[in-house]
């Protein structure tokens, strides 16, 4: 099971959170979240996507989806959409199904699976609300946030890295800083602790809103059995937030940049789609180079070239493959897999 253990609600207090990027491609369940978003999203917590989950049911008949929202309720002005792209091979999809929900009243949920099925009514009951044609079910309501997030420790780790860079830590041609062993030890030590003590969960007891959907696979596999899932919130034609793979928008854009630069990049990213995200690859490469340096060993991150690929460890494009994967920002699901790996 591939996952990132983070949540983004801490950004409401201007905190910085970083999750561990552990998946290149997913077989079985997938999870994603993003954190510390832009002022326009922070100002509208009901449009602020916290986390996205997707997995195939144990029966192999349904795709299960969860979108959590930072706000404690849903807005009647926001559309909440799961985008399920389908194809026959990784990285290429040929068909898309949108599952869109909106909430005209606090007790009314209206959801559509494209033009194939729809549901309207009270979706807050534990058993959910079934579609008219019984091809999907939806639940919408408050849920406790499950993630552990040591926000203060993460911020302290960033400060150690930023100070080392200001003091002249040199980077290789791929942009990975050569942190001294003492600096790497300090970074990792700060990340494990909170104010010098055991790591504490900044988000303990946080309650978010969740939209949970279970949809029959034939409705979302028209292009093939391999699925790529991402989520958006929008008001009319304006896309407000976007979430897919772990932390791409918030931890990989302007990581140590000024607040203005970081906000500009993230606003642009939130308004983009997987098909228009290639322009963010160079910025994501910079962030990956920084994170790769934290353990004091450049070149040992996921998808970095090795001698077996006939590429130099010092290659300036060392982080390109992973950056392209993360810029795409979709959760990839092998829908025929029913076992949690």
* 4-35 per-position pLDDT tens digit: 323 333 333 222 223 333 232 333 444 444 44
Q: Nearest Cα to 278, choosing from 229, 244, 329, 228?
A: 329
pLDDT given at position 69: 92
Q: What distance, in Å, lies between the first and last C-alpha atoms of the chain?
A: 4
pLDDT for 3: 34
Instruction: Tell me how far apart the alpha carbons of residues 183 and 255 are, in angstroms, rounded to a whole number.
Output: 18
pLDDT of residue 306: 62
So what's the pLDDT on residue 37?
Answer: 67
Euclidean distance between CA atoms 90 and 284, whole angstroms? 21
Q: Where are the domains of the chain?
A: 9-147+202-278+329-334
% the chain with pLDDT above 70: 85
What span, in angstroms and rounded, lies between the C-alpha atoms of 160 and 84? Answer: 40
Q: Which residue has the higher pLDDT, 264 or 40?
A: 264
| Residue bearing the bigger pLDDT, 182 or 38 | 182
- The confidence band for 314, taking pLDDT boundaries of 50, 70 and 90, is low
Please report which helix (H) or strand (E) contains residue 139, including its range.
strand 136-144
Cα separation, 249 vs 120, whole angstroms: 32
- For tokens 């790769």, name the residue: 292
pLDDT single digits (tens) 58-102: 999 999 999 999 888 999 999 999 999 999 999 999 999 999 999
Neighbouring CB atoms inside 10 A of 310's CB total: 7
What does each C-alpha distance from 65 to 97, 114, 192, 249 come to in angstroms?
13, 15, 31, 20
Q: Which range is least confidently modeled, 135-149, 158-172, 184-198, 245-259?
A: 245-259
More confident residue, 255 or 8: 255
Q: Tokens at residue 290, please?
A: 């920084």
- Average pLDDT along the chain: 85
Residue with tokens 């209206």: 110
Check if the beta carbon of residue 219 is closer than 8 Å to that of residue 114. yes
Q: Look at residue 312 and tell me whether its pLDDT is greater than 60.
A: no
- Of the chain, the percentage scoring pLDDT greater than 90 comes to 67
Q: What is the pLDDT of residue 21?
A: 31
Residues facing residue 227 across a β-bridge: 86, 333
pTM: 0.84
């Amino acid at each position: 099971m591939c996952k990132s253990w983070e949540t983004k609600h801490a950004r409401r207090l201007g905190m910085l959170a970083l999750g561990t990027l552990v998946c290149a491609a997913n077989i079985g369940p997938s999870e994603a979240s993003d954190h510390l978003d832009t002022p326009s999203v922070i100002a509208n917590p009901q449009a602020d996507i916290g986390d996205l989950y997707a997995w195939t049911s144990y029966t192999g008949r349904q795709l299960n989806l969860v979108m959590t929202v930072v706000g404690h309720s849903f807005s009647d002005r926001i559309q909440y959409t799961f985008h399920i792209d389908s194809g026959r091979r990784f990285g290429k999809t040929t068909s898309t199904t949108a599952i869109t929900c909106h909430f005209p009243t606090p007790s009314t949920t209206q959801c559509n699976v494209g033009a194939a099925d729809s549901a309207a009514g009270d979706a807050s009951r534990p058993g959910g609300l079934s579609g008219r044609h019984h091809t999907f079910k939806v639940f919408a309501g408050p849920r406790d946030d499950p993630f552990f997030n040591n926000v203060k420790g993460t911020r302290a780790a960033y400060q150690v890295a930023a100070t080392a860079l200001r003091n002249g830590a040199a980077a290789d041609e791929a942009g990975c800083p050569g942190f001294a062993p003492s600096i790497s030890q300090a970074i990792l030590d700060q990340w494990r602790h909170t104010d010098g003590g055991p790591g504490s969960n900044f988000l303990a007891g946080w309650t978010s809103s969740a939209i949970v959907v279970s949809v029959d696979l034939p409705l979302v596999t028209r292009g093939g059995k391999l699925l790529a899932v991402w989520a958006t919130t929008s008001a009319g034609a304006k896309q407000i937030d976007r979430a897919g793979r772990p932390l791409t928008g918030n931890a990989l854009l302007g990581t140590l940049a000024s607040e203005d630069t970081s906000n500009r990049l993230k606003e642009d990213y939130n308004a983009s789609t997987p098909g228009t995200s290639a322009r963010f690859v160079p910025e994501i490469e910079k962030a990956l180079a920084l994170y790769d340096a934290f353990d004091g060993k450049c070149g040992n991150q996921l998808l970095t070239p090795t001698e077996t690929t006939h590429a130099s460890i010092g290659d300036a494009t060392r982080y390109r493959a992973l950056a392209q994967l993360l810029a795409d920002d979709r959760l990839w699901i092998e829908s025929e897999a029913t076992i949690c790996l």
